[in-house]
């Protein structure tokens, strides 16, 4: 599988956690779901930040994430989740994460996280002392946070209602980033498991606390809209 994702650094901080695919993490076939992978990545990022002890009065929000699956993890497979900083910008940073398992699982991801005020009102500079922990792994690489997907669905895009659960909201009372992948999983459930390798990319255009949503689809792209119609996330998959 060809990829533009940068390799694991030779020098610098690489943080590891273990994740095992349990009963609530997999599709009926035993394949780990995409929302599970996204949750593993979130948990690894949080654990890395907590372990660093870096004082931070802000909060990190996912702007975009690319997922490249060589082989999906399977039920019961204990995976190593290795994560590191692979680039920075003025108000954001890229986090690479590699998920590997003894059964051959391999998932490579890259996510842009924007550093925000704690209330999510606006971006803020990277935390003081950030470079002390993460600059060596980033190796001076600069990244952009520009979104690339078509921002609005075409008129002929299909339309279907969707409803997020109360359990899908996070500490900020917004739909959690990992939950958006359940929209993709709903589409995958209507067909055999996706072939491997498999590539998907999500872009988040804004948070939502609305539980009623509208899903638009056209070709390989999906638009996830709040109930009033505003596009809050887009996915290109397959």
Quick one: which of 88, 76, 83 has its CA closest to 112? 88
Phi, psi of 164 (to 5 degrees): -80, 150
The DSSP output letter for 39 is H
pLDDT tops 80 at residue 190: yes
Span 5-54, pLDDT tens digits: 999 999 999 999 999 999 999 999 999 999 999 999 999 999 999 999 98
The CATH number that applies at residue 188 is 3.10.129.10
For 164, the domain range is 158-237
Residue 172 sits in the same domain as residue 125: no
Residue 71 sits in the same domain as residue 183: no
Global pTM reads 0.95
In sequence order, which residues have a C-beta less than 8 Å from that of residue 204 and are 6 or more positions away? Answer: 61, 62, 63, 64, 177, 180, 232, 233
Count structural domains, the chain.
2
Q: Is residue 100 part of a domain?
A: yes
Tell me which of 10-14, 149-153, 179-183, 188-192 is least confident.
Answer: 188-192
Span 105-158, pLDDT tens digits: 999 999 999 999 988 889 999 999 999 999 999 999 999 999 999 999 999 999
Residue 111 sits in the same domain as residue 166: no
- Contact call for residues 107 and 70 (beta carbons, < 8 A): yes
List the Cα angle 128/130/132 in 5-degree steps. 110
| Cβ burial, residue 119 (10 Å; 0-12/13-18/19+) | exposed
Q: Is residue 2 part of a domain?
A: no
Helix axis angle, 34-52 to 181-188, nearest 10°: 150
């Amino acid at each position: 599988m060809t990829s533009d994702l940068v390799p694991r650094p030779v020098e610098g901080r690489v943080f590891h956690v273990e994740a095992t695919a349990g009963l609530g993490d997999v599709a009926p076939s035993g394949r780990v779901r995409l929302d599970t992978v996204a949750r593993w990545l979130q948990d690894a990022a949080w654990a890395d930040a907590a372990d660093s002890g870096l004082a931070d009065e802000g909060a990190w929000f996912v702007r975009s994430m690319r997922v490249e699956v060589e082989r999906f993890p399977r039920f019961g497979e204990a995976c190593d989740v290795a994560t590191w900083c692979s680039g920075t910008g003025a108000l954001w940073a890229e986090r690479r994460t590699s998920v590997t398992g003894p059964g051959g699982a391999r998932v490579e991801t890259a996510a842009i996280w924007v550093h925000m005020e704690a209330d999510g009102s606006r971006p803020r500079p990277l935390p003081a002392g950030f470079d002390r922990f993460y600059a060596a792994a980033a190796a001076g690489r600069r990244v952009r946070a520009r979104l690339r997907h078509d921002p609005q669905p075409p008129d002929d895009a299909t339309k279907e209602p969707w409803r997020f659960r109360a359990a899908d909201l996070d500490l900020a009372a917004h739909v959690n980033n990992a939950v958006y992948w359940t929209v993709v999983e709903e589409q995958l459930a209507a067909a055999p498991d996706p072939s491997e390798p498999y590539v998907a990319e999500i872009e988040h255009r804004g948070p939502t606390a609305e539980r009623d949503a509208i899903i638009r689809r056209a070709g390989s792209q999906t638009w996830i809209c709040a109930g009033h119609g505003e596009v809050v996330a887009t996915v290109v998959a397959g």
